[in-house]
Amino acid sequence: MTSPRLFSILRQGLHLIASVHTALDDSQLVRFQADLVERIGADRARGVVIDVAALDVLDSFGSRTLRDIAEMARLRGAVTVIVGIQPDVAFAMVELGMDTGSVVTALDLEEGLAELDRCLAASPLPGP
Amino acid sequence: MAAVGPVGSPDQSCASPDVAALIPLVRRIVAARVPDRATVDDLVQETLTRVLAAAGRVEPGMLEPYAIVTARNVVASMWRDQDRHRRHQHRVVDLRPPPAPDEDVLAGEDRAAVAEALTRLSERERTTLLAHEVEGRDTRSLAVELGSTAGAVAAQLNRTRARLRVEYLLVSERVEPPTERCRPVLLAISSGERRRQREVDAARHLLECEVCARLSEPLMERGRARDDAVRVPVRGDADIVAARQAARELATRLRFSPTDITLIATAVSEMARNIVRFADSGEVVVTELEEPRCGISIVARDAGPGIPDVERALQDGYSTYQGLGLGLPGARRLMDEFAVVSETGRGTTVTMTKWRGEA
Amino acid sequence: MSRNENPTVTAAASDGTGHLDQDGLLPQLVAHLREHRTRLRQEWARRIQEAHLLQAMTSQEMTAETTLVYDNYVEVLETGSVEALQHYARDLSERIIPRGVETNEVVGIVLLLRDVLARSLFEKYQRDFSLLNRVLDAYEPAANRIANTVAVSFVEERERVIRQQQDSIRELSTPVLPVRERLLILPIIGVLDRERARQLTVQLLSGIRTHRAKVVVVDITGVPDVDESVANHLVRTVDASRLMGASVIITGLSPEIAQTLVTIGVDLSKMNTIGDLQGGLEEAERLLGYSVARDDGVGGP
């Protein structure tokens, strides 16, 4: 289903942990998005952590893809937290002019999972 | 003068006295062409600055000819009131013979001129060159066939390439060499053989011959341009990643800060994507800059449909595909210099520069 | 090095230098310049004043410097030593850069000295035209060489000094202070332009990672003239920090200025602004889940 060399999607309790392992090109990102969204539905995940620490660049397409994933996950009743954005990458994203508004972020995987718990505790049942 | 540049390059610091020794020569050349004394001073200084900056990459024996050529160019560009460098940067990709030959010497874009130049080689030269370059035959098997050694074949190939470059320039510039000495001199310069250059007294000839002075410039700069420019053809998604990795590698080698490297890679990513989205194919050329200080230049060009309204495309929020409209304006914010030249139906060239330092 | 490899052009280029030693012209020339040192130096100083160069210097300094430069210049003419020349130029640059001397001034005064000396040589030898020609041929390349080397050294030295200053200013001006676990304070003092905002943001971002910060208090009490551009820099800093999972609280922004910024269209909605540093720290602790000192809803919108 997924190519283990490019990214992996693992289940942990009610959550999914999706890790990108290497720089992805646009079509690989699209496949990542499709696979992940499908897994969120199939596993009825409540939360998703996407670890992008391996990405050396998050340009407009990459950022938009992450935002789309978060939005689609929300429609399926899951909260998404992006973790592992490197300092230089974060800097480049804002210099580029990305609107980073709605996406939830955290420093790393550990923080991301804690953030998920906080979000889910705040709204125990996200939508019908 | 600031071009003397980066820290710790001992060969450059001892190059300056040699450059200083060129002053009378340069002054003579400029003064012969420009009446006004103040302007002469300016142009001499400009010439020396350029020669100084190039001192490290020009072969030691070629410094004087280089200065001669540079002085003539500086005078010429003053008359044209147009800086050669700028002209290059804003050039739209064009498959017909463009005004400046050097890039084409490298790219071999101008097929007609190459074909014509090929016919000027001897039968034997042509056959061997084509067998090597086109059919991919190695020098060893060619040597067996020709009853020679691999080394001799390689040397012959080098001479043939040098001749091809000269003939190519003559064809694409549409000039016939005015004297009998021209071809041997150009050939010596093209091959980079210093001994040969002395034998034919290349330096003196460049002083006397307007045509050769002009033609020899791309030949002398050839080696350098090939060494520090990386070309990435861009046809699909995967090439976007390849282009930004090429930029990242060069920027790393030039000791840019990690932050700047990421900014550069991000900008390249945006521009390469534009090529894939709008033009199907094009190329990204990443080049090291030495003047006026260390920097990196990125040229992204395509022969696609072009941008009808560049001004508007540079504004935030303008987008013709389902991206975020950050392509051009976003990349511009990431870089220090940014220029777009586009012609409807002909293509687009984006030239961007980042200087090493501050950040 | 090119001399032997390319004899023709070199010979055509600088006939003068060769004759110099053979004729013993050089010692004669140097002796002349030494003999008339006072007069020539004064003439030079006068020309410098006329040209409005080196105005940053007092007349005493001017006398001291011109004397030193003059002697060095003649010495370099005499010895022709490149090392001495470079050393002299670097020395000169070191002395005058801190006084705010510009590149064009340095080039200007060296060229003036060249002219003053050339004129004096002309006067001395004008009756013997061929000797004059030889003297000037000998003098000019050497003098040009000095001018060129001085200019290059000056620019190099100046760049080095500027780099050094920038580095130290950068280090001093943006300390990222870890106050307690997961909490950073970044007090910004001085003008916040684009370049500085970038450096500061980069520093803050790596600080966030190093200290695993969740909350950052950026205090801008020390920033004069907080206008639209400053506010936009801060918005980017806030955005970038948020991408790393850290919340930013801006303190030191007066309500009046905040109101003005909103009026001219700056989007402060994403910024958590609090009047003073104390309030900012309390809000930070609240966000971190520590005991809440007071909860009067000072948080941003």
pLDDT of C54? 81
Q: Which chains touch A (3 or more CB pairs under 8 A)?
A: B, C
Q: What is the pLDDT of residues A42-64, one digit of tens each?
A: 999 999 999 999 999 999 899 99
- Better-scored residue on pLDDT, C60 or B8: C60
Nearest Cα residue in chain B from C200: B359
Residue B64 — very low, low, confident or very high, per pLDDT cuts 50/70/90? confident
Delimiting residues of CATH 3.30.750.24 domain(s) in chain C: 177-288
Across the interface, whether the CB atoms of B24 and C82 are under 8 A apart is answered no
Pair of tokens at residue B125: 């030269």
Claim to verify: residue B74 and residue B121 sit in the same structural domain: no
- Flag whether pLDDT at B203 surpasses 50: yes
Delimiting residues of CATH 1.10.490 domain(s) in chain C: 2-171
Of B14, B20, B194, the CB nearest to C145: B20
* Separation between Cα atoms, residue B110 and residue B103, nearest integer Å: 10
Across the interface, whether the CB atoms of C245 and A107 are under 8 A apart is answered yes
Least confident segment among A6-15, B155-164, B251-260, C12-21: C12-21
Across the interface, whether the CB atoms of C240 and A101 are under 8 A apart is answered no
Claim to verify: residue B110 and residue B172 sit in the same structural domain: yes
The pair phi, psi for residue A52, each rounded to 5°, is -110, 25
Output DSSP code: residue B93: P
Pair of tokens at residue B142: 């060619």
- Flag whether pLDDT at B188 surpasses 50: yes
Claim to verify: residue B66 and residue B146 sit in the same structural domain: no
Q: What is the mean pLDDT of residues B300-313?
A: 84
pLDDT of A93? 94
Of B244, B245, B333, the CB nearest to A96: B333
Nearest Cα residue in chain C from B262: C202
The reply to whether B251 touches chain A by the CB within 8 Å rule is: no
Please list every residue in chain A whose beta carbon sits closer than 8 Å to the beta carbon of residue C216: none
pLDDT of B233? 87
Would residue B206 count as lying in a domain? Answer: no
Q: What is the mean pLDDT of residues B70-89?
A: 59
The CATH code of the domain at C2-171 is: 1.10.490
Give B143→chain A minimum CA distance, Å.
45
Across the interface, whether the CB atoms of B270 and A28 are under 8 A apart is answered no
Please list every residue in chain A whose beta carbon sits closer than 8 Å to the beta carbon of residue C243: 82, 85, 89-90, 93-94, 100, 105
pLDDT of C250? 93
Of C240, C242, C246, the CB nearest to A91: C240
Of B48, B203, B207, the CB nearest to C148: B48
Would residue B334 count as lying in a domain? Answer: yes
pLDDT of B223? 45
- Better-scored residue on pLDDT, A40 or C51: A40
The reply to whether A25 touches chain B by the CB within 8 Å rule is: yes
Residue B129 — very low, low, confident or very high, per pLDDT cuts 50/70/90? confident
pLDDT of A90? 95
Q: Range of B68's domain?
A: 2-80
CATH number at residue B312: 3.30.565.10
- Flag whether pLDDT at B117 surpasses 60: yes
Handedness of CA A93, A98, A99, A105 (dihedral sign): negative
B contact test, residue of C148, C163, C196, C235 with most B CBs within 10 A: C148
Would residue B209 count as lying in a domain? Answer: no
Across the interface, whether the CB atoms of A95 and B334 are under 8 A apart is answered yes
The reply to whether B314 touches chain A by the CB within 8 Å rule is: no
Give C299→chain B minimum CA distance, Å.
31
The reply to whether C195 touches chain B by the CB within 8 Å rule is: yes
- Between positions 184 and 223 of B, the ones with CB within 8 A of C are 194, 198, 201, 203-204, 207
Indicate the number of domains in chain B.
3
Q: What is the mean pLDDT of residues B198-218?
A: 80
Interface predicted TM-score of the whole assembly (ipTM), two decimals:
0.90
Across the interface, whether the CB atoms of B359 and C155 are under 8 A apart is answered no
Please list every residue in chain A whose beta carbon sits closer than 8 Å to the beta carbon of residue C198: 91, 95
The CATH code of the domain at A7-122 is: 3.30.750.24
pLDDT of B15? 41
pLDDT of B127? 85
Would residue B50 count as lying in a domain? Answer: yes
CATH topology classification for C177-288 = Transcription Regulator spoIIAA (3.30.750)
Per-domain boundaries in chain A: 7-122
* Separation between Cα atoms, residue B160 and residue B174, nearest integer Å: 20
Please list every residue in chain B whose beta carbon sits closer than 8 Å to the beta carbon of residue C9: 25, 64-65, 68, 203-204, 207
Residue B224 — very low, low, confident or very high, per pLDDT cuts 50/70/90? very low
Nearest Cα residue in chain B from C104: B1
pLDDT of C216? 95
Handedness of CA B224, B227, B228, B230 (dihedral sign): positive
* Separation between Cα atoms, residue B239 and residue B302, nearest integer Å: 14
- Written as one string, the DSSP assignment of chain C is -HHHH-HHHHHHH-HHHHHHHHHTHHHHHHHHHHHTHHHHHHHHHHHHHHTT-STTS-HHHHHHHHHHHHHHHHHHHHH--HHHHHHHHHHHHHHHGGGT--HHHHHHHHHHHHHHHHHHHHHHHTTSHHHHHHHHHHHHHHHHHHHHHHHHHHHHHHHHHHHHHHHHHHHHH---EEEETTEEEEEEES---HHHHHHHHHHHHHHHHHHT-SEEEEEEEE-SS--HHHHHHHHHHHHHHHHTT-EEEEES--HHHHHHHHHTT---TT-EEESSHHHHHHHHHHHHT---S--S--S--
Give C125→chain B minimum CA distance, Å.
22
Across the interface, whether the CB atoms of B203 and C8 are under 8 A apart is answered yes
Please list every residue in chain B whose beta carbon sits closer than 8 Å to the beta carbon of residue C2: 18, 60-61, 63-64
Give A91→chain C minimum CA distance, Å.
6
Mean of all residue pLDDT scores within chain B: 75
Interchain CB contacts (distance < 8 Å): A and B: 74
pLDDT of B32? 77
Which residues are CB-neighbours of B257 under 8 A, at least 6 positions away?
Answer: B359
Of A91, A101, A106, the CB nearest to C201: A91
Cα distances (Å, whole numbers) of residue B149 to B121, B142, B144:
21, 9, 7
Residue A108 — very low, low, confident or very high, per pLDDT cuts 50/70/90? very high
First to last CA, chain C: 72
Across the interface, whether the CB atoms of A63 and B263 are under 8 A apart is answered no
Q: What is the mean pLDDT of residues B291-300?
A: 87
* Separation between Cα atoms, residue C106 and residue C100, nearest integer Å: 11
- Please tell me which of B75-89, B98-112, C173-187, C228-242 the model is most confident about, judged by mean pLDDT: C228-242
Q: Which chains touch C (3 or more CB pairs under 8 A)?
A: A, B
The pair phi, psi for residue C193, each rounded to 5°, is -95, 180
pLDDT of A71? 93
Claim to verify: residue B108 and residue B31 sit in the same structural domain: no
Give B264→chain A minimum CA distance, Å.
9
**Per-residue pLDDT in tens (0 to 9) along chain C, 301 residues:** 333 433 333 333 333 343 444 457 778 888 888 889 889 998 998 988 888 888 777 888 788 878 888 888 888 888 877 677 777 778 777 777 777 777 778 888 888 888 888 888 888 888 888 888 888 888 888 888 788 888 888 888 878 877 777 666 655 555 777 878 899 999 888 888 888 888 889 999 999 999 999 999 999 888 888 888 888 889 999 999 999 999 999 999 888 888 888 888 887 777 888 888 889 999 999 988 875 444 444 443 4
Pair of tokens at residue B240: 């976007």
pLDDT of C10? 32
Pick the last residue of a domain from B80, B104, B136. Answer: B80
The reply to whether A88 touches chain B by the CB within 8 Å rule is: yes
Residue A102 — very low, low, confident or very high, per pLDDT cuts 50/70/90? confident
Please list every residue in chain A whose beta carbon sits closer than 8 Å to the beta carbon of residue B266: 57-59, 92-93, 96
Across the interface, whether the CB atoms of C244 and A105 are under 8 A apart is answered yes
Would residue B86 count as lying in a domain? Answer: no
Claim to verify: residue B125 and residue B241 sit in the same structural domain: no
pLDDT of A105? 95
- Better-scored residue on pLDDT, B206 or B2: B206
Claim to verify: residue B287 and residue B327 sit in the same structural domain: yes
Claim to verify: residue B106 and residue B219 sit in the same structural domain: yes
Please list every residue in chain B whose beta carbon sits closer than 8 Å to the beta carbon of residue C10: 21, 64
Give A84→chain C minimum CA distance, Å.
7
The reply to whether A56 touches chain B by the CB within 8 Å rule is: yes
Q: What is the mean pLDDT of residues A116-120?
A: 88
- Flag whether pLDDT at B82 surpasses 70: no
